[in-house]
Amino acid sequence: MDDGAYLDLLDMCYGAVDRPEHWAPFVEALTEALGAQAGDFVIEDYATGTARALGSTGFDPHFRETYDTHFLGENVWIRELEKLPRDRTHDDRAEPPGFEASAYYNEWVRPQGLRHAMGAILEREATWLVHIGFLRAPSVGCFDPGEIRLLDRLLPHLRRTLDVSQRLRRAEGAEALAAELLDRLPVAALIVDRGCRVRELNAAAERFLAARRELRSGPSGLDAWTPGAGSALRRLIRAACTLDAAATFAGPMAVRLPRRDEDGPPFLVEVLPLRAADALGGPARHCLVTVTDPARALAGGVPHLRRLWDLTPTEAELALALANGRTVEAFAAARGITPGTVRWHLKNAEAKMGVGSVAALVRHVHGALRGA
């Protein structure tokens, strides 16, 4: 094979890194180059009982379908190859003893008019393997040394392509899981770069930016409606996107963002340095920005508090009222009970929550409901 044809094969091989459909033309071209009548590149998965062909040509479709049922894990040729080195091609010289008497040969290979084989196992784990193999008719004869050398030259590239492809699939899977996780968060969450530009955001953040005017994301980056909060937020983002911030990070940094068109507690905007390396190189070039609405959290917090600490309805409502700035006396007046009775409920709530003061109880409630 001349250099041009060999480079064409390499191009098809590496093209399959992110486009698995390129394996089929690669196997067809290599089968032709080797003078074989049939060839395949297969993942045999013994845990699921399936053989998935990345590329296959020349085999009778009916026999291809019956292989899983009758010969997966029972292919005497592959069993023999498993005993041999993984780093080179094996041909008829490695044929298992009694091959022509085996069911695999007589019921699968010979009925398709095939006889001579060569191939290699590229990867092998406990329950699966990746195998490439080629067969030709008895009349054509064994594969010659030049054909064996050609497959040997290609094996390192095949292994490298499989490795990079697997890494890419894992990275894509991790990215998809991260995106789903981000979307499932009940708080608005944004991935922001060092220039304060929003790179990714979850569904809650999209809704927040569309429905509210406290934060805006434009060409100049993320900003707040009040100059003071906007400057503070951008300063925290730039600090969080530095290496020092990621190295010495001890907790989220926060900005309180006043409401623009209504009364109520301010939004809490927190900035969290991200330790993961940036795709373009250099660690901590992005940060996570979350936006929490304390009013929303406090409004629906009674069931959450009851589940967390097994509080009674009155104890949970009292804890929520104190966290919202009300006094024992105000709660007693609203309920038509004495302050002494309220303090009794408060004592019980503190005991269940493991705190010894109203201030500690309030901190626990705000921590529990942040982002709820």
Predicted confidence (pLDDT) per residue in 240-286, tens digit: 888 665 566 666 688 989 989 887 778 889 998 887 655 555 555 88
**Spatial separation of the C-alpha atoms in residues 358 and 60, rounded to whole Å:** 79
**Spatial separation of the C-alpha atoms in residues 8 and 127, rounded to whole Å:** 33
Q: What is the pLDDT of residues 286-339, one digit of tens each?
A: 899 999 887 666 556 788 788 888 999 999 999 988 988 889 999 999 999 999
25 — pLDDT class (breaks 50, 70, 90): very high
Are 86 and 121 in contact, with CB atoms under 8 Å apart?
yes
Task: Give SS3 for 175.
Answer: helix
What b-and-e string marks burial along 31-48, b requiring 16 or more CB atoms within 10 Å of the CB?
bebbebbbbbbbbbbeee
Does residue 156 share a domain with residue 8? Answer: yes
Last residue of a domain, one of 258, 277, 292: 292
So what's the pLDDT on residue 298? 59
What single-letter amino acid sits at 56?
Answer: S
Q: What is the mean pLDDT of residues 214-232?
A: 92
Is 280 inside any structural domain? yes
Does residue 230 share a domain with residue 341? Answer: no
For residue 187 the two structure tokens come to 């708080």
CATH, residue 15 = 3.30.450.80
Does residue 152 share a domain with residue 8? Answer: yes
Does residue 214 share a domain with residue 76? Answer: no
Last residue of a domain, one of 174, 194, 227: 174
Residues spanned by the domain of 334: 298-369
Does residue 281 share a domain with residue 338? Answer: no
Residue 12 half-sphere exposure toward CB, CA atoms < 13 A? 17
Is 180 inside any structural domain? no
